[in-house]
Amino acid sequence: MSIFRAGVLAALLAYVPSAVFSDGIPFAMRAPLPQVQEELPTLPVTPAGFDVLSISALPKDEGSLLPIMASQRAISAFGISCKEEMTVDVVAGAMLSVSLSAPCRPEAKVVISHAGLEFENVLSYAGLLEFELPALEPTGTVEAKFSPEQILYDRARVADLADFTRLAIAWEDGAPMAIKASAPDHMPVSIEILGSKGSLHILSYQDDPRQEPGVVRLALEREVDAATCAEGARGSVLKIMPDLPALRYKLKVAAPGCAQIGEMFLLKNALQDLKLAKR
Amino acid sequence: MLCAVLLCASPAFAQDVSLTSRDGAIEIEGTLLSYDGEFYRVDTIYGPLTLDGEGVTCAGPGCPDLDAFIAEATFSGTRFIGDVLLPALIQSFATQNQFSVTREVQDDAHSTFILSDAERVRARFALRSSSTAEGYADLIADAADIAMVLREPNHDELGLAASTSPSPLARNKRARVLALDGLIAMTAPDQPVKSLTLEELSKVFQGEIRSWSDLGGVETEIVALAPPENTGIHEALLSRIITPFGRGSLQAEQSFPDPDDLADAVARDASSIGLGTLSTVGNAVPMRLKGACGFEQEASVTSLRTEDYPLTLPLMLYTPPRRLPLILREFLAFTRSPAADLVIRRTGYVDQAITESAFGELGDRLAHAIANVSAEAPLVELQRLVETLRNRTRLSTTFRFESGVRLDVQSSENIARLAQALETGRFDGRSLVFVGFSDGQGPSGPNKELALRRAALVLDQVREAAGIANFDQIEVAADAFGEVLPMACDDIAWGRSLNRRVEVWIE
């Protein structure tokens, strides 16, 4: 029955079966080659001057393949090139927008330097880091250091920095203290805290010649807890003011003492108040 | 003679150094008190002696390491200098001399500035902010090298100092003016009453005026805030605002040890009035002082420099009559420089730079003089004044007197400042006229004579102080116009005090 039906079907379809062998075992049936030569499709034309890499064009020497193999290795877990780069752009308010990409350094620590102040940051799992930094010097130079030999840098000129008063403290050791500012309503100040350990504190005030005179009280404060009550702090201070040379010094703050646990440790005279005189 | 005395120094005296002259002829033993990089100060059985390090060799466990000398100095005294002004001046001095600075903050009243060059630490300046009295006490106890003060030492302090030998306080004036400030009454910006008389102010802080309506404002109770007792600022307020009106103590609803806290409290509360200084006014507003005759005095940079504001407050450094380390002497010299003047202005104080203002800026003063022409202040004398001064400018340097012909402390400093300017040739080729004015009490003839005598006296003192100035290049003269151009009302003591003055006009 089945042989008969196969023969009928074969006759109807002019189908000539042929056996395909794999390791001597009949495996499948395949169609015969067409009897009529079909016209080939038109291939796209390669533009002049455009080289298409052909495997056959590769040199036979295996050593010359190393660069290609190396470039294949310099790809992150996300398939992105390991190329490391940092860009710095100026944005409104004399801020530096910093974008750092090191895809093959997931969660790596990096030390960011600007205007002689340093703070530590950590890249994301994808090896990316983006933040905005109040500029502290007009060339807007930012460095990112992974190691003493591996440093990225970029810069962007900050044209309107002369309109700003800024006070920055980069805490290097001990328990960092925060800048506390008490400003009248007409003197808005902002305070940025940067770094994975919150070690860079920058107070910023935009000078306005039409501004009414006033005083912004500045103090340093931190909550005293059992872990850090015996710890002081050490840092670098940079103050920039319109029409005046930058002021730079080291600041060491004594430990509050463990009798003050639970209280706020406040230093009102460690920083000079910001005074805006009448123009 | 000295040699013989020194050689007799008893070896039994507790000593840790032995200083021997280069030729071996003199040997001094004692306890080293200090070494300033140049001079040894040694406590001997004859008392403290100062010896030039160049002339002696040092032996003993107390000898300093000459190559690692660090100048140490302690400033102690009023927080009106120690909190803001002195730290800013030290920072600026360090920057100018290319020292790097580390500030060690112990607490709000104590900090230390460490000045280093590329090689090592060169100086440590310690600051103790408290009060004028504490500053003098530390100086007497040898716990400070320089006192930050708002007044000269008082009788008790001089007496106490005299019991030590040598006395760290001298009867001759050793306080030098660092910067100027002004005692003020302050209110919140939205308080409509902007001026009052000194007597009204005194009554407010005696509890005799209790409502703003008594000062021309609305019916609201006055909340009086003041600095605490036993501070230099309290003493100054008492002696210059309260005592002149015959009363004994200063009363306030609340006292604030921190002048910034006081100013902030005033700025927040429109019903409050505070006593403080112009440098610490913060976001409060200084009140003008008025007199019955219509003059109003405002505390400002110009009025404090010219001492035309009645409550000018000189901020002073008191140096003991002994040698100070070289770097400290350099710092003190820096505080009189134009660079320091800039820092002083930036920190909210008033510097003593010599500035000029045109005749036209007399404004109200001239109008007032014209309106009050009388037999005692005749028009012809006023016309002579206009003729003499109209093409000249007035220097901010003005001289006022404590009593008779004795200059006050700010004016004494002005003598030195003007003399220095003359010596540096700033006024070469120009003409300076020292113009005396008097108050309006008594007959005009003697008043004018006294004014001329004061003008001549000031001119003499300036000439003497400006020893190396070339007076062939500078024309100087003294003149006087008596009472024709008052600064303030003559019906009150402080007004008369302002009117007794010597101005300097330049062409």
Task: Please tell me the predicted confidence (pLDDT) of residue A131.
Answer: 96
Q: Which residues of A touch B88 (CB under 8 A)?
A: 272
Chain A residues near residue B102 by CB distance under 8 angstroms: 249-252
Q: Which of A269, A271, A272, A276 to mutate to test the interface with B (most CBs of B within 10 A)?
A: A269
Specify if A9 maps to a domain.
no
Whether residue B128 is contained in a domain is answered as: yes
B336 and B399 in a common domain = no
A120 and A185 part of one domain:
no
Residues B496 and B372 in one domain: yes
Task: Look at residue A33 and tell me if it is in a domain.
Answer: no
Q: Give domain status of residue A136, yes or no.
A: yes
Q: Are residues A191 and A267 in the same domain?
A: yes
**Structure token pair of residue A60:** 């036979």
Say which residues have a Cβ less than 8 Å from residue A167's Cβ, sequence separation at least 6.
A179, A202, A203, A218, A237, A238, A239, A271, A274
Residue B146 C-alpha, separation from nearest chain A C-alpha, in angstroms: 20
Stated as kind and residue range, the H or E segment containing A90 is: strand A85-91
Domain end residue (candidates: A134, A159, A184): A159
Q: Nearest Cα to B308, choosing from B283, B331, B285, B291?
A: B291
Alpha helices in B291-378 (DSSP H): 301-305, 326-334, 338-346, 364-371
Residue B54, SS3? helix
Question: What letters, b where the CB count within 10 A reaches 16 and e where it falls short, cover A101-129?
Answer: bbbbbbebebebbbbebbbebebeebbeb
Q: Output the domain CATH number for residue B396.
A: 3.30.1330.60
Answer for the pair B118, B98: CB distance below 8 angstroms, yes or no. Answer: no
| Residue from the list B87, B109, B283 with its beta carbon closest to the beta carbon of A215 | B283
- Amino acid identity of residue B60, one-letter, is G
**Residues of A in Cβ contact (< 8 Å) with B108:** 267-270
In a domain, B310, yes or no: no
Query: Which CATH number does the domain housing residue A105 bear?
Result: 2.60.40.10
Q: Are residues B95 and B169 in the same domain?
A: yes
**In B130-257, which residue ranges form alpha helices assigned H by DSSP?**
132-140, 155-162, 198-204, 232-237
**With contacts defined as CB-CB under 8 Å, which chain A residues touch B299?**
none
For B106, the closest chain A residue by CA position comes to A254
Q: How many domains does chain B have?
A: 4
Q: Are residues A151 and A208 in the same domain?
A: no
Q: Which pLDDT band, with edges at 50, 70 and 90, does B479 fall under?
A: very high
Whether residue B194 is found in the same domain as residue B149: no
Q: Does any CB of chain A come closer than 8 Å to the CB of residue B108?
A: yes
Give the model's confidence band at B1: pLDDT under 50 very low, under 70 low, under 90 confident, else very high.
very low
Domain boundary among the residues A159, A182, A212 is at A159
* 3-state SS class at B325: coil
Same domain, A176 and A257: yes
In a domain, B366, yes or no: yes
Shared domain check, A237 and A167: yes
User: Nearest chain A Cα to B86, which residue?
Assistant: A272
Has residue A229 been placed in a domain?
Answer: yes
Instruction: Find the CATH number of the domain harbouring B21.
Output: 2.30.30.100
Q: Would A243 be classed as within a structural domain?
A: yes
Distance from CA of B301 to the nearest CA of A (A): 11
pLDDT of residue A33: 53
Q: Are both A111 and A216 inside the same structural domain?
A: no
Choosing from A159, A194, A219, the residue where a domain stops is: A159
What was the pLDDT predicted at A265?
93
Contact present, B243 and B235 (Cβ < 8 Å): no
Q: CA triplet A104, A109, A113: central angle to 5 degrees?
A: 115
> Closest partner residue to A251 among B88, B105, B109, by Cβ?
B105
Q: How confident is the model at residue B171 (pLDDT cuts 50, 70, 90)?
A: low
Residue A128 in any domain: the answer is yes
Contact A273 B129 (CB under 8 A): no
CATH of the domain at B260: 3.40.190.10
Q: Quick one: closest CA in A to B92, which residue? A: A247
Query: What is the reported pLDDT for A9?
Result: 43
Task: Give the pLDDT of residue B231.
Answer: 82
pLDDT tier for residue B185 given thresholds of 50, 70 and 90 = very high
Q: What is the pLDDT of residue A34?
A: 53
Give the pLDDT confidence of A121-151 residue by residue, as tens digits.
999 999 999 999 999 999 999 999 999 989 9
Query: Helix B409-423 to helix B444-465 angle, to the nearest 10 degrees?
Result: 50
- Minimal CA separation from B295 to chain A, in Å: 24
Asked if A215's CB is within 8 angstroms of B347's CB, the reply is no
| Token duo for residue B269 | 């509360």
Which tokens hold the place of A278? 């009448």
Q: Are residues A148 and A209 located together in one domain of the fold?
A: no
Closest approach of A99 to chain B, Cα-based (Å): 33
Q: B129: which chain A residues are within 8 Å (Cβ-Cβ)?
A: 269
Element spanning A26, H or E: strand A25-29
Residues B139 and B233 in one domain: no
Nearest by CB to residue A214, choosing from B88, B283, B347, is B283
Which residues of chain B make contact with A277, given a CB cutoff of 8 A? Answer: 348
pLDDT tens for each residue of B481-491: 888 888 887 77
Domain presence at residue B313: no
Establish if A26 belongs to a structural domain.
no
Query: B375 with B496, same domain?
Result: yes
Q: B128 and B189: one domain?
A: no
Q: Which residue of B has its CA nearest to A241?
A: B346
Asked if A165 and A279 sit in the same domain, the reply is: yes
Question: Based on the domain organization, do A183 and A231 belong to the same domain?
Answer: yes
Q: How far apart are CA B257 and CA B236, in angstroms?
A: 15
A vs B: CB pairs below 8 A: 63
B243 and B196 in one domain?
yes
B91 lies in some domain: yes
The sign of the CA dihedral B228, B145, B75, B305 is positive
Interface membership of B129 toward A (CB under 8 Å): yes
Task: Name the strands in the sheet holding B296-297, side by side, starting at the edge strand that comes first in the sequence.
Answer: B195-196, B288-290, B296-297
Residue numbers in B near A215 (CB within 8 A): 282-283
Q: Which residues of A195-226 are buried (b: 16+ CB within 10 A; e: fewer)?
A: beeebbbbbbbbeeeeeeebbbbbbbebbbee
Which are the contacts of B487, defined by CB distance < 8 A and separation ≥ 6? B295, B308, B365, B437, B495, B498, B499, B501
A165 shares its domain with A112: no
Domain boundary among B34, B64, B94: B64
Is residue A172 domain-resident?
yes
Residue B250 in domain: yes
Q: What is the DSSP annotation of B142-162? A: TS-SEEEESS---HHHHHHHH
B88 in contact with A, Cβ within 8 Å:
yes
B102 inside 8 A of chain A by CB = yes
B206 lies in the same domain as B254: yes
Using CB atoms, which residue from A250, A254, A272 is nearest to B102?
A: A250
Element (H, E) at A95: strand A95-101
Confidence of residue B39 (pLDDT cuts 50, 70, 90): confident
What are the residues facing B393 on neighbouring strands?
A: B358, B506
B391-435 confidence digits (pLDDT tens): 899 999 999 887 677 788 888 888 988 998 999 888 888 999 999
- B239 occurs within a structural domain: yes
B256 and B165 both lie in a single domain: no
B507 within 8 A of B435, measured Cβ to Cβ: no
Low-confidence stretches of chain A (pLDDT < 50) are: 1-30, 46, 49-59, 279
Please name the residue that has the structure tokens 């030098």: B176
Distance between CA B339 and CA B337 in Å, rounded? 5
> Do B209 and B260 reside in the same domain of the chain?
yes
Instruction: Establish if B142 touches chain A: CB-CB under 8 angstroms.
Output: no
A251 to chain B, minimum CA–CA distance in Å?
5
What's the domain range around B400? 354-506
Q: Are residues B480 and B360 in the same domain?
A: yes
Residue B349 lies in a domain: no
Mean of pLDDT values over B85-102: 94
Are A270 and B111 a contacting pair at CB < 8 A? Answer: yes
Give me the pLDDT at residue B469, please.
83
Contacts of B53 (CB under 8 A, 6+ apart): B35, B37, B38, B39, B40, B66
The ipTM (two decimal places) reads 0.77
The most confident of A2-16, B90-104, B140-154, B321-335, by mean pLDDT: B90-104
Summarize pLDDT for B357-366 with one digit per residue, the tens. 888 777 777 8
d(CA B345, CA B341): 6
Partners of residue A202 on adjacent β-strands: A168, A192
Q: What is the pLDDT of residue A85?
A: 93
Do B283 and A184 make contact, defined as CB atoms within 8 angstroms?
A: yes
d(CA B365, CA B367): 5
Q: Contact A268/B108, CB-based, under 8 Å? A: yes
CA atoms of B189 and B194, how far apart (whole Å): 9
**Domain check: are A209 and A257 in the same one?**
yes
The CA distance from B345 to B354, in Å, is 13
Q: Which residues of B touch A254 (CB under 8 A)?
A: 104-107
**The domain containing residue A136 runs over which residues?**
79-159
Q: Which residues of chain B lie closer than 8 angstroms to A250, CB-CB?
A: 100-103
Do A138 and A86 belong together in one domain?
Answer: yes
Domain total in chain A: 2
CB spacing of B347 vs A251 below 8 angstroms: no
Per CB-CB distance under 8 Å, the chain B contacts of A272 are: 84, 87-88, 347
DSSP-based three-state secondary structure for A107:
coil
